[in-house]
Amino acid sequence: MKDQKVSTILGTIILMIIAATVATFTLFCIKNSPVKTDVVPAVVQQRLIPSNEKKQESNVEEDVDMQKEALESFDEWNECRNEKFGYTINYPKEWIIANRGIGGFQKINQCNLGRLFFYYFNESSNQNPSFLTIDVSDVMMEGTTYEGSKSLADYFSKVHMDGKFEYFVLDGEQAVRVENNLHSNVFVYHNNKIFHMYENNLTEQLFEFFLKTFKFLD
C-alpha cells in the first residue's frame, strides 16, 4: 500500500513536470513567432497617433530652421489641387511641385499627376533634400501585383512592409501609418484608389502638418 501511494505521488509529480514543460514551450513559441501585420484591423482611433519612436531628424541647423519657418508660415501655404485624382493638399510657399527624373528634381506647374513631389532643397546643406511624395495606385501600381487592390487589407495581403503600424482616420477614410528606418509612410484607400504619402528628411511635426491639409475632393 505504501509503495502504491509513493508511485501515485511520483506519477502526479511527473505529470506536473510534463504539463509545465509543455506550457513553457508553448509560451516560447508564441513569443518568438512572427507577428502578422499585413492585415489592417478596424479603425481604433479617430486621430493621428504620434509615434513614440521619433525618426532621426537632420542635425543641420539650416534644414531645421527651414522646416520651422515652414510651420510658422502655415497660413500662407499654397494649395495643390489634383482634379484628375481627386484630392487637394497644401505645401509651404517656398517649396516647389516637382517631378523626378534621371537628372533629379524638376519643377512642374501642374498638380494632375499620379506621382507628385513637394520639394525643398537647401544648397548650403549637405543633407538629402526634404520632400513629400504622393503616389496614386492607378498610376504607380499599374502592371504590378498590387494593381486592383480593393482595400488596405487587400493591398497589405500582397506586400510585406516592416515597421510600426498605427491606425487613424484621414479625411473620413481608414488610413494606416507605417514608421520604418527609411520613411514615415501613410496609406489611405478612397474611391478604388490607394494613396501613398511618404516623407524624406522631414520632421515629424512638418509631416503631420502636410497630412492635416490633405482632403479628398468628393
Q: Residue 204 carries which DSSP code?
A: H
What is the total residue count of the chain?
218
For residue 97, pLDDT over 90 is answered with: yes
Q: What's the confidence (pLDDT) of residue 31?
A: 40
The residue that leads in pLDDT, 112 or 31, is 112
Q: Locate cell 484628375: which residue?
A: 84
**Within 10 A of 84 (CB to CB), how many other CB atoms are there?**
13
Instruction: Provide the pLDDT confidence category of residue 29 given band limits of 50, 70 and 90.
Output: very low
- The reply to whether 53 falls in a domain is no
- Residue 209 forms beta bridges with which residues? none
- The reply to whether 211 falls in a domain is yes
- The reply to whether 54 falls in a domain is no
| Verdict on whether the full-model pTM lies above 0.75 | no
Measured CA to CA, the distance from residue 65 to residue 43 in angstroms comes to: 35
- The reply to whether 209 falls in a domain is yes
The residue that leads in pLDDT, 17 or 198, is 198
Q: Locate cell 519643377: which residue?
A: 107
At a CB cut-off of 8 Å and minimum separation 6, what does 45 contact? 167, 168, 169
Work out whether strand 104-107 and strand 96-101 pair parallel, antiparallel, or are unpaired: antiparallel
Q: Locate cell 480593393: which residue?
A: 150
Helix extents (H) in 58-164:
61-72, 137-140, 152-156
Q: What's the confidence (pLDDT) of residue 4?
A: 52
The residue that leads in pLDDT, 21 or 120, is 120
Cβ pair 80, 197 in contact under 8 A: no
Measured CA to CA, the distance from residue 204 to residue 207 in angstroms comes to: 5
- The reply to whether 52 falls in a domain is no
Instruction: Provide the pLDDT confidence category of residue 198 given band limits of 50, 70 and 90.
Output: very high
Q: What's the confidence (pLDDT) of residue 44?
A: 29
The residue that leads in pLDDT, 14 or 46, is 14
**71 and 14 belong to one structural domain:** no
Q: What's the confidence (pLDDT) of residue 8?
A: 60
**109 and 207 belong to one structural domain:** yes
For residue 171, pLDDT over 90 is answered with: yes
**89 and 24 belong to one structural domain:** no
- The reply to whether 49 falls in a domain is no
Work out whether strand 215-216 and strand 115-120 pair parallel, antiparallel, or are unpaired: unpaired
**80 and 155 belong to one structural domain:** yes
**109 and 205 belong to one structural domain:** yes
Closest CA to 139 of 196, 179, 87: 196
For residue 79, pLDDT over 50 is answered with: yes
Supply the range of the domain harboring residue 29.
1-33
Percent of the chain predicted with pLDDT > 90: 35
Instruction: Provide the pLDDT confidence category of residue 67 given band limits of 50, 70 and 90.
Output: confident
Measured CA to CA, the distance from residue 46 to residue 59 in angstroms comes to: 33
Query: Which CATH number is 174's domain given?
Result: 3.40.1000
**187 and 132 belong to one structural domain:** yes
- The reply to whether 133 falls in a domain is yes
Percent of the chain predicted with pLDDT > 70: 64
**191 and 96 belong to one structural domain:** yes
For residue 215, pLDDT over 90 is answered with: yes
Cβ pair 10, 173 in contact under 8 A: no
Number of domains the chain contains: 2
